[in-house]
């Protein structure tokens, strides 16, 4: 646990092929502001079992100019948070994120803001579901877990790198409303069941963390407040990742 806590705040070490492929896919597509791979470490014991993946990484290194070093498991583990890296990790650059603006809000889209999530794993799990549900972008407050990008990428199965991510401005809700977006917040007070709600695009869905919820300054601008009905009496909130999954896929279903 101590190891994880010391690495959460700043981590651009990407663990495993799923995370590394997500970074490489952005580079291959020429995504603006894509993060760069600086070097890759490979466990010498994996040279045979991971031959196909290593061949791909070597090929990409000639295009994108990163170094590949062969080392041992102990060295790799000294840099990582988890143990599911499969003997391959990448040291990557930081990534710049644009602020929300009129130029990066598409017509008739589906965006999600997640606010106040307490740890990078839950954050990553939420991003995984939101990406799978087809969201066009993620809106985040200035305080978020993007500094722990390696951890987030691993828990999101690469989705954090593939999503369009924007940082909220003071007037971001006004920008969405000017584009004709409906602002839908997940909360309890004055809510209707999400299963009865109008979730047609264009929509900005806002989900808060299970402890702090959504800030009052955002809630007061909601066009609709929705709740997730339970199958039995249960007074605890769902995790933000679970709530994000249910809500995002309800939006997907409503727009099929």
% residues pLDDT > 90 (the chain): 72
Q: What value does the mean pLDDT take over residues 245-249?
A: 97
- By residue range, what is the domain housing residue 37? 2-92
- pLDDT at residue 143, as a whole number: 74
Q: What value does the mean pLDDT take over residues 146-164?
A: 89
In terms of domains, do 70 and 118 share one? no
Of 171 and 209, the structure prediction assigns the larger pLDDT to 171
With bands split at pLDDT 50, 70 and 90, how would you rate the model's confidence at 105? Answer: very high
In terms of domains, do 108 and 222 share one? yes
In terms of domains, do 7 and 122 share one? no
Q: Is residue 97 part of a domain?
A: no
What's the mean pLDDT when you consider all of the chain? 91
% residues pLDDT > 70 (the chain): 95
> Looking at the predicted structure, is the pLDDT value of residue 238 above 70?
yes
Task: Give Cα 70 distance to the centre of its chain.
Answer: 30
Q: Which residues pair with 165 in a beta bridge?
A: 138
In terms of domains, do 106 and 88 share one? no
In terms of domains, do 64 and 143 share one? no
- pLDDT at residue 90, as a whole number: 96
In terms of domains, do 142 and 249 share one? yes
- pLDDT at residue 83, as a whole number: 74
With bands split at pLDDT 50, 70 and 90, how would you rate the model's confidence at 134? Answer: very high
In terms of domains, do 117 and 208 share one? yes
Q: Is residue 222 part of a domain?
A: yes
Structural domains in the chain (count): 2
Q: Is residue 148 part of a domain?
A: yes
In terms of domains, do 88 and 119 share one? no
Q: Residue with structure tokens 């969201």? A: 135
Domain finish residue from 40, 67, 92:
92
In terms of domains, do 11 and 85 share one? yes
With bands split at pLDDT 50, 70 and 90, how would you rate the model's confidence at 10? Answer: low
Q: What value does the mean pLDDT take over residues 30-46?
A: 94
Q: Is residue 8 part of a domain?
A: yes
Give 218-229 pLDDT, tens digit per residue.
Answer: 999 999 999 999
Complete edge-to-edge strand list for the sheet that includes strand 137-140: 165-167, 137-140, 110-115, 203-208, 182-186, 224-227, 192-193
Sorted by sequence, the CB contacts under 8 Å of residue 255 that are 6+ apart come out as: 110, 199, 200, 201
């Amino acid at each position: 646990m101590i190891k994880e806590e010391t690495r959460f705040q700043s981590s651009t070490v990407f663990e495993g092929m799923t995370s590394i492929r997500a970074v490489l896919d952005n580079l291959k597509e020429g995504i603006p502001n894509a993060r760069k791979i600086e070097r890759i470490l490979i466990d010498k014991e994996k040279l045979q079992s991971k031959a196909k993946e290593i061949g791909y990484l070597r090929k990409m290194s000639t295009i994108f100019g990163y170094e590949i070093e062969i080392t041992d498991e102990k060295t790799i583990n000294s840099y990582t948070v988890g143990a599911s890296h499969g003997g391959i990790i990448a040291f990557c650059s930081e990534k710049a994120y644009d602020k929300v603006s009129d130029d990066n809000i598409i017509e008739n889209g589906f965006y999600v803001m997640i606010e106040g999530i307490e740890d990078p794993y839950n954050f990553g799990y939420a991003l995984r579901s939101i990406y799978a549900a087809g969201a066009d972008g993620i809106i985040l407050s200035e305080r978020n877990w993007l500094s722990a990008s390696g951890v987030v990428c691993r828990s999101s199965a690469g989705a954090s790198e593939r999503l369009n991510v924007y940082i909220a401005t003071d007037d971001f809700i006004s920008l969405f409303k000017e584009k004709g977006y409906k602002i839908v917040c997940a909360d309890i007070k004055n809510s209707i069941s999400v299963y009865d709600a109008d979730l047609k695009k264009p929509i900005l869905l806002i989900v808060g963390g299970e402890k702090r919820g959504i800030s009052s300054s955002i809630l007061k601008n909601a066009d609709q407040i929705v709740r997730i009905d339970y199958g039995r009496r249960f007074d605890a909130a769902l995790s933000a990742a679970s709530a994000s999954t249910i809500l995002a896929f309800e939006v997907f279903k409503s727009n099929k």
